[in-house]
Every structure is written in structure tokens, then in C-alpha cells.
Structure 1
Amino acid sequence: MHLIELRHSIAATSILLAASFAASEASGASAQASIAHCDALASHPKDPGRYAAGVTDEQFAPGAAIEACKAAVDADPELPRSWFQLGRAYWLAQRDEDAFAAFVEAAKRDYAPAMKFIGDAYNEGRGLPKGEEQSLDTAVAWYQEAQNNGYKEAQQAIDEAQKVLASLRFDPSGFQNKEYMTRMYEGNFDNLGNPLQFLMYVGAFSEELGGTTVFFIDQDCQGMVTSLSGTINGVQRFVSFLQSMQSEEGMADVLIALFTSSWVQDQGKRDAGILMNRYSCKSPIARKIVENVVGSWEKLPAIIQASLGPKKKPRAKTSEEPSVVSLYQQKEYGLYWGAISGRCGIQNYPSKIDACNRVLALINSNEYKILTCSYGPYRKDGTGFRVYQFWSDRVPEGVPSYNVPGDEHPFGILGQRAVGKCPANTQDLEPIFQASRL
């Protein structure tokens, strides 16, 4: 090759190399410009890896950001920050499926803020792939992954999600009566150890929720409160029924419930407060418990009767059995044994409730005593055993003045006369009993 030709060839090659370098340099500059434009329009203010000041959701312009960040991703597909910002732009534009796909691309490249947004997608059920469902548990897993990869902002999301999860999971620990609360949550009223005791608990629980406590200033709770009124009245009537149990087993339950009534009712009231403080009346847990109690009330008496066994019928009186039986036992209590039927749930007579509550306060202070008279003989088959109850030394002022039917009268079972001492036999007692009834 001649020297002149060689010089021409070298010159041409130099020109081509210069042009190629210039094009490469221009392309790199264009890519950087696209990435910088995406950063300027879509950087998250709390993204520790951002390259710009950050744009709040309120200032965000999704349309422009989508175009800029698509160009950034095309310019450098391996840059996770651009994938995340593109996902954010789609998210704020409500293009949820596109947003989820972009966040996944960023997460594949270990970009922690994208992991937090994937958690948000599962939390809210937005843009999930086919076959995937909204899941708070999955959301928490992604939030924790984001935190593990250095995104500290995920901790707040973890705390909030776990608080919601706690409100959706029934945990009997912390309640005064774990067994009864579990039964009410599960709607399981079979095989009750002491039905009367359980009813006292349910009644106190229901009246605490159905009262005018601070829990129910919130209007959202009013429907739940109102639904309990029928249960309260039903409990009152059924406690009166159980009092009439004549079988040995039934009387044992009555006596046990008598001695533990104050304690069990206190548990019911406390557990109502614990339920509201832990879950609130808006929680599915609280609503399920109330629905189970209210919804099962119609069948609850039959379930409880079955758990007690059939009520034993007295044998036909024979010539060997006396028509008059003697006093078997006399007891005096400082607290009305059937306090559930004495609680002031006379919903149709609101003008009487304040007076009723005043009487109950006097009873609970032990100022008034309750006399229980049991007449025998006490046979194992349950026959011949009769129980009567009265006010002991005096009747609280105003008790006889409740103009309500006998089965709704809060103190009807105790009558309107004080009987300081049990008569020696049923013959002497019967006229006193009849005269004292309301």
C-alpha cells in the first residue's frame, strides 16, 4: 500500500472511532438524563436511596412520572431505583397490576422500599397476581423483609398490621373467665358445668355491654348494644326457671351459683370491659361474640336444660307422705342470690331503672338480707324438697311500687314483705308466701 493510501485509511478509521465514541457518549448522557428526570418526578421522600429531593403523594403527577420512569427503565433495566419509582407512579395512577409488576422487578434487585409497597399491595388487595388474595399475614412478611433490608420506615407498617391482626384473632388470655369467653366466641354452650352460674355471667356481661358506659358513646356501637336487650330479658326469665329445679342435681347447681354469684357476675362485667378495651365494638371478634350470644339465645335454654338432665317429676303423693313438711334448712345471705333476675333490665319501664339500681346498690352493700327457706325431707330422687325466698329483716323502700308484670319485676321472686324467720313447716309458710308475692 502506498504511503498516501495508508494515511487516508488511518484518517478514515480515526473518524469512525471518534464518531462511535461520540455516539456512545451521547447515549450515556441521554440515559443519565432519563434516569435523572425519573428521579426528579418520582423519588419517594422516605426512600434512603433516592437521588432527588423527593415528591410527596399530594405533589405527584402520575402521567409525567410514568413516561419519565419508563424511559429510565429502558435506559438501564438493571437499576432498581427506577423500577421502584415507576411502580410508585403506577400505584398513584391506580394502575395496580402494572405497579405490582414494577415493584417485583425492584424487589428482585433487593430494593427495600419496593418490598414495603408489595406489602401494601397484599394489605390492601391491590394489583395482586392471579390466584393471590389479600392477606395481612403476607403483607407483614413483606414489611419485615423490607425492614431486614434496611428500610426502617417499614416498622410502622409492621406495628399497625400486627395491631389489626391481633384484633382479628381471639385470645382468651387476659379475660377473667377464659372458659366462658371462649364458649361465647365459639358459640359452644354444650356440657356446661353449672348452667345457672354461666347464665349469671352472661347476664352481667350483657348488661355491662348494654348499659350506658363510656364504650358506647360511639354511634357505631349502638346496634350491638340494642341487640343485647332481648338476651338480658331472656336471661332474667330463665334464671327464674332454673330456680324451680327440683332435682338433686339442679339444687346443687342453684346452691353453687348462690355462693358464687357475686364473683361470677363481677367476672362478666370485667370481661365486657376487657373485650371493648382490647378489641372495640367495631372488631369482628366483639361482634361475633355478641352475635353468638344473641343468635343462640332461643336455643340456649334447651341446651342448658339438656345439660342438667330432665327435671325430675315429684312422685304421686301416697298415704305415707305427709302433705306438710318441716323446715330442713334456713340460710340468710347478704347478696340476692338471683342477682341476674334482679338486675335492672326492665327495658319497657325506663322510669323504674334508676330506682331499681338504687335498690340493687343497697343489696350489694349488704344492708338488706335475703332469707332462703328449704323444706324437706330431702330425698335423693328430688321429691319433697321445696325452696322459698324472702326479704329477711326489711324490704327496700319502693320495691312493691314497680307496676310491671310479675315475670318482669326485678324483685318479684322475693315478694314485698319481710320474713325474719322461716316458719317451722310448709303449712305455716304457705299463707305468708302467697300474701307476700308481687
Structure 2
Amino acid sequence: MPFSLHLLALAVFAQGTSEFMLSGLVPDIARDLGVSVPAAGSLTSAFAVGMIVGAPLTALLAVRVARRPALFGSLSLFLAAHVVGALTTDYAVLLATRVAAALANAGFLTVALATAATLVAPDAKGRATSVLLGGTTLACVVGVPGGALLGQLLGWRAAFWAVALVCVPALVAVVRSVPAEPAETARGDVRAELRALRGPRLLTVLLLGALVNAATFCTFTYLAPLATEVTGLGADRVPALLALFGLGSFAGVTAAGRLSDAHPVPVLAGGGTALLAGWLLLALAADDAPVTLALAFVQGALSFAVGSTLIARALYAATGAPTLAGGTATAALNVGAALGPWAGGLAIGSGLGHRAVPLVSAALVAVALLVALTGAAVAAAPRARASAGHG
């Protein structure tokens, strides 16, 4: 893989750290700015909304801008948002910086996915995607705990400064390593790319991505209370549980990068079926600590292996929309990231308890498998009729 691709992953690491690190900084932010804990928690929601809205909008803008300046501009905005966030004493300003950072993150990831596909051979998009998403999984393993620890030692503002500093070498890398596009190819055709997005194959892949990611974040969001309330783990062991999930996600992305280009169907069918079984097993055996710890790693690996493969399939399915495909894939994943926690919270709020959360994840994966089987059957029907006609 080109070294420039790994440097783009560094920026994705910084952005993933920023997206998730607030979970450990909310109480400190609330005290410092004089707001309630729910108000401080809404900073995370603001980021998610910015990602959902920003991905398709920034993708439309990116079609008209060369990739290198688009990457540089979005990463610069992301860095600036964190500098302002680290300096402000006003909650409204901090909230605005979270939305701005999310918009910049969505724009960067959209263009980075498209750029990654051009930096490798045409049949290596899955591996390139896994390298980029490896930045997100490493953020879960290293960045988020590191940001939380830094916040505890030096205050939440130090975590914002750290994210900004990590972006600096990535900015230099964009200028030096991302190839400039020829003038005649720097601008795309928005209408042509929009037409390319209408294909049923792509729409099916995007729906699958949203459902699988919803299942992932449904349980991941409530993994800590599940562990303490059902499994009986002490609060001091929860970071280790979350780290196991993060390590699994990194392992899954890495494995998918090696397998998804040449063997996408086995990865998706086998991984999806195993994912469904794993969520069901977690619901049944959540009171067993060794099983819960093992499944945290396994489900993290399966979730991100299947998810990254689906993103790669979206890029393969939309070769006529190299920029918008990345944007729609990013938006689909974030729709899932928003839908999953809502569905899990609904189950808990209905009195079903924390054990019901992995059951919701299992149901979402089951729907995804049903959609995949239906799509395969619909796609195979014309070929079957053609074969029967020739016979």
C-alpha cells in the first residue's frame, strides 16, 4: 500500500478520536462551562448530525474540486475547529465547532475514500478501504482512551489540542503525497455521478451498511452498562472490555483488507451469519464474564470486517460516481450509527433491560441478511430466465 494512504489514515485516526473521545470528557466539560451533563452530552449528538448531513453535501461540493485541495481544506477546517474549541469558554461556540468539525470530517472521509481507490490497483479497493478505516479502529483502541486519560490529567482542552496537533503531519502529507489531478479530470460531472448512484446494487449495499453499522453501535453504545448490570463486571474492567472491542475491530478491518477484494461473498455471507449468531449468544450468555469478554473481541472483528467490506463493495458498485459513492457510504454508516443507539435505548426504556440490546443488534443483522438474500434472488432471476430461454 502507498505510504500516502497510511498518512491519510493518520488523519482518519485523529477524526475518529475526536468523534468518540467526548464520552470520557463530558463531566469535565459540563463543570468547566457551567452546563448540565445532558447538554455536554449533546456535543456528541451534534457531531453525529453533522456527519449525516455533511457527507452527501460535501460530496457534491467535492465533485467540483480537485481532491488534494478538497482534502487540505476539509482537514484545515477540522484542525481549526479543534483550536477554537480548545480556546472557547462559551458552550454555544463549542457546539458550533463540533458541527463544523463533523462537516469537515465527513468531507475529508468522503474524498479520502475516493482518493484511496485511485492510489491502488483497480482490484485492491477493499484493502485500501481497510487501511483508511484502520485509522478509525485504532482511534477506538488508542485515541479514545488516550484522549480520556489526557483529559483527566490536564483537562478536556488538552485532548482537543492533541487532536489538532495530530492533524498537522497529515496536512503536510496531503500536500506532499496526494498526487495532483490533471486539469481536465479535476472537476467531475455532478449529474453523471448522481445518475450512477441510482443503481439497485449500490442502494442495496448502502442499506446493508446502514443496518450492520446500526447493529454494531446499538450494542457498543450500551456495552458498559451491559457489562456492569448484567455481566457483573466492575467499573474498573469496563475500559478493558471496550479495548477488546477496539482490538477486534482493528483485527477485522485488517483481515477484510486481505480477503474482501478476492472473496467478498464469503466474507459478507459467512461474516454476517457469524455476526448474527454472536449477538444472539451475547444476549443469552451476557451474565458469563469470560463469554462476554471473548464476544467483545469477536463481535468487534466481525462487525468491522463486514462493514469495511460493504464500503469497498459500494466503491466497486459505483465506479461512475467515484466521489459521491464515498459520501453516500459515509452517510449510510452514520445513519446506522445514529439509528442503532436509538433502537437500543428504546429497548431499554421499554423495560426490556440491557440484555435486550444485543437482541436488537441481532434483529438488525437478520434484516440485513434478508435484504441481501432478496437482492441476490432478484438479481439472479433475469439470468435464470435467460438461461431457460436459451435451453
Q: TM-score range by the shorter chain?
A: 0.3 to 0.5
**Which fold has the larger relative contact order, with Cα–Cα distance below 8 Å and residues 6 or more apart in sequence?**
2
Q: Which has the higher Rg, Structure 1 or Structure 2?
A: 1
Question: Which has the larger share of strand?
Answer: 1
Taking structure 1 as the reference length, the TM-score comes to 0.30
Question: Which has the larger share of helix?
Answer: 2
